[in-house]
Structure 1
Amino acid sequence: MSKFTELKTISCTICGSSFTKKSNLNSHMRIHSGEKPFSCEVCEASFSRKQHFMTHMLIHTGDKPFSCEICQTSFAAKATLISHLRTHTGEKPFRCEICESSFTQKSNLTKHIRVHTGEAPFSCEICSSSFSEKSNLTKHIQRHTGEKRLPCEICGSLFSDKSNLTNHMRIHTGEKPFCCEICESAFAQKSSLKRHMRIHTADEAFSCEICGSSFTEKSNLTKHVRIHTGEKPFSCDVCGSSFLRKQHFTIHMRIHTGEKPFSCEICNFAFSAKSRLKKHMCKHTGEKQFFCKTCRSEFTTEKNLKEHMKKHTDHKAC
């Protein structure tokens, strides 16, 4: 018999995946059963695989045995070091076969593929909303529970997860760690940098089938389509007003609640919308945001610009 006879495989009775070892099949079955037999005695986190449990334990011991030879950053897991090294080399070995986008980690490719397939495997048991990423489901559930455990030490604002707190802290520190390599613009959030980069790449992947308008983000296309359909999904339970965008609905609700969360630091005047505070600040700073396209005159308020524009229209009428 040949030394390289075909290996006998064992198949999963639920999804059909095949394995050469029973131990691998047993580990795989925990995906379906949800079983997590490896528990941390320190924080009670549980895991389906021993390898993941061992990596987790390094969080508590503080042991980071894997170091980057380029920047000396240390990591608890070798896999994390390998992923980190790609930030230095620029290597993106995981490529999407549909749009050819490339990624440094396989998990990011998996998440990206769901943009094309529309798959949203993580469902909320309370309202049945579905999400493509588990982290988004976790954030969503906190909206139901109202749980916010992480406070800002400067202003006392509470946040449901560490990433939101980190982003918020940049408001106080002014830190903008995400820089554009083309024009050197800097941003507080990575998502803002990604949106900005599309200005340089002219990447407008989402097109309106009705009028042909193109958008760099799917969410902006969704909002745009409502102009054609007339859909106003955000309704006020108090007065019945409906809105195209959630942002406009949120601002409207403050009419009923009286909430004015945006305050002027100079005169303490408060506003229900950030845009109104911005306009108000121009009175203090003298900044002129509005300009006439006809004669290039500048104005601090839109109202003053409109009054000015009448001069041009009246002149044409004569």
Structure 2
Amino acid sequence: MMDESKSSEGGIKLKSRLAVFEHITDENKPKKRKFGSSRFNDSDDSSVSESELVIDETPTEVKKKQKRKRPIRISEEVLSLKCDWDSCGTVIDSWREFDVHLLEHASYSGTNCLWLDCGYDCMTVPFLMQHISYHGYLTKLKNIGKNILERESLPECKHERNEKIILKREGYVCEWEHCLRNFYNICEFHLHMEIHVNANPRVANEKKNEIISCDWAGCKQRFATKYKLAEHLRTHTHEKIICCPTCSTLFANKTKFVDHRKRQLSEHLQSYQCSQCLKLFPTERLLREHTRSHINHYKCQMCNMTCATPSRLAEHIRFRHLDMKPFKCNECDKTFKTKYILATHIKTHGGESEVCGHCNFKCRSKVGMQSHYKKKHDQAAPIFECHSCKKKLKRGQFLTKHLMKMHNYHWPSGHSRFRFLRSVTLIV
């Protein structure tokens, strides 16, 4: 047991400044101050001498402002851009210089792209230059995504890598008033747009006639800061500023990137639940955004259908009220209403690439194979239950038929199916 005299002579060594706020009304009260043990490292000593205490009487509001760090802007990100052309491996810290370096590779390498895992034949040197510049653009955005992941604790991305080189053969046109310059290099285009943004004052001041406005063709929106103008301008140029290093998905702002990672949290870690459909979300903001999808503000002029967003209403009109099918298959005479449906159809002209692992069934698409498996081999317990008679069914379409045939239910106007409410209690 430690000697009491040694204990009194010692003291707790504070590692950081300690703020003590105390109001004593009775002069006879003891001067010894008690503190929660969680504020200190473990120690054998139990007393603290007043000389060892540092009293900080800074107001709480001021301290909060002192602690709050300004977030790092995209333009302030430190870059370390590695060239993956053949066996080059050069690392450059400037996007402009990196782009110049890449174009030097393209000028003497024929028309084949030698970038890691690419090998695309661009047919012409000018198109190869445009192509390799886009590789540099993606490298920069991945670098920024990597920087954010190193600073913040975000869930891992579980998506497969799907890198796409999307080029405009006609180039990128600046539609800023009195400009109209055309660029074939994506780096030069976005650096050019920065010139238009930086020509504005940092903060708008109408008294001094310092106005920050977007002069893109057909747009005259005004903004409080130059930063907000730059953010808005991306809606015109379709510029992305962050790329997920794992799956290569592109994002126009940091919030979308963070949401992309957080949405992939395991369901048991998502604690915000929608009261309408019981869907789970990782953050309160994502839940609020989702809740809007249950409120239908837009009504179809041709029927009683209502939708939550203009895009949903446009989709409804296209499929329910218009006969136009502008997307034609090159292999047959069939036409379709969307590119996605056409792409799905084109797969049917290929060979039977999907083979069932339980029988000899073959088909051309994953959707067809999934449908076959559910019909013939799925032994899972029923997951749908009729709220009227408690009958249990395996598939939503079976429940739909049951509701219409046995209980005389009808689809809501404008809809072609029912929406089923997810239950907290699982059917077993």
TM over 0.5, shorter chain? no
- Indicate the TM-score class for this superposition, using the shorter chain for normalisation: 0.3 to 0.5
**TM-score normalised to structure 2 length:** 0.34
Higher strand share goes to which structure? 1
Higher helix share: 1
Higher Cα radius of gyration: 2
Per the normalisation by structure 1, the TM-score is 0.43
